[in-house]
Amino acid sequence: MPRLRDLDWSILMARAQDGDRAAYHRLLTEISPYLRSLATRRLWNGADIEDAVQDILLTVHAIRHTYDPARPFAPWLVTIAQRRLIDRLRRQGRIRRREVVMEPEHEAVAEPQHDTGLDGHHLQAAVDSLPPAQQQALRLVKLQEMSLKDASHASGMSISALKVNVHRALKTLQKLFSDRDQS
C-alpha cells in the first residue's frame, strides 16, 4: 500500500477522532474499496464480501477511539479486517459442518392423518366454553398470531396476564379433548 495513502488515512482518522464528520465520511468512503479487495481474497460469494466489508466498517466505527494517531493507520485497519474475515470464515465453517446434504432417501413421507372426529364446530364450541379472558388471549396470541406486545395493547391485558390466560386456555382445551378421546 502506498505510504501516501496511509498518511492520508491517518490524517483523516485523526480528524475524525476530533469530530470532523466530513473527514470521517471521506475516510470510510476511501477505505471501503480497499476492504472489499481484502475480503475478495478470502471470500468467494459477493454477498459475503459486502457483509464482511460492512462488518469491518462497523468494527472500525465501534473501536475508532483505540486508534493512535501517532502510528500508521493501515496496519491498524488491516488487523481489524483480518480478524473480522477470520471470524466470518470460522462461522461459515461451523455452519457447513452442521449442514447435511439432502439425498432422495431423506425425503419425508407424510403419514396418513388419523381422523380425530374433531371438526371446526367442536373446536369452536370448546373455545367458546373458556372464560372470556382466556378466549380473548387465545384468539389474539394463537389464532391471530399477534405478538404479546400487540395483543397486550389490543386487549388491555398485561403481557404476563396474556401468557397466563393463553397457558390456562391451552391446558383447559387439552384436558377437554383428552377427556373426550377417553370416553
Are 147 and 87 within one domain? no
Which grid cell sits at 41?
481474497
Q: With respect to residue 24, please indicate whether it lies within any of the assigned structural domains.
A: yes
Same domain (yes/no): 87, 127: no
94 in the same domain as 171: no
Residue 161: exposure state from Cβ atoms within 10 A (0-12, 13-18, ≥19): middle
Q: Are residue 126 and residue 172 in the same domain, yes or no?
A: yes
In a domain, 125, yes or no: yes
Q: Tens of pLDDT along 31-77? A: 999 999 999 998 888 888 999 999 999 999 999 999 999 999 999 99
CATH number at residue 165: 1.10.10.10
In a domain, 103, yes or no: no
Domain range holding 70? 3-98
The answer on 91 and 145 residing in a single domain is no
Per-residue pLDDT of the chain (183 residues; tens, 9 = 90+): 456 676 789 999 999 999 999 999 999 999 999 999 999 998 888 888 999 999 999 999 999 999 999 999 999 999 999 999 999 999 888 877 777 767 776 666 655 555 555 567 777 888 889 999 999 998 898 888 888 888 999 999 999 999 999 999 999 888 887 877 676
Question: 15 lies in a domain?
Answer: yes
Q: Could you give the maximum distance between any two Cα atoms of the chain, in Å?
A: 87
Regarding whether 71 and 129 lie in a shared domain, the answer is no
Total structural domains in the chain? 2
Residues 42 and 128 in one domain: no
- In a domain, residue 78? The reply is yes
Residue 39 within any structural domain of the chain: yes
Residue 77 and residue 126 in one domain: no
CB 81 within 8 A of CB 38: yes
Task: Give residue 72's identity as a one-letter amino acid code.
Answer: P
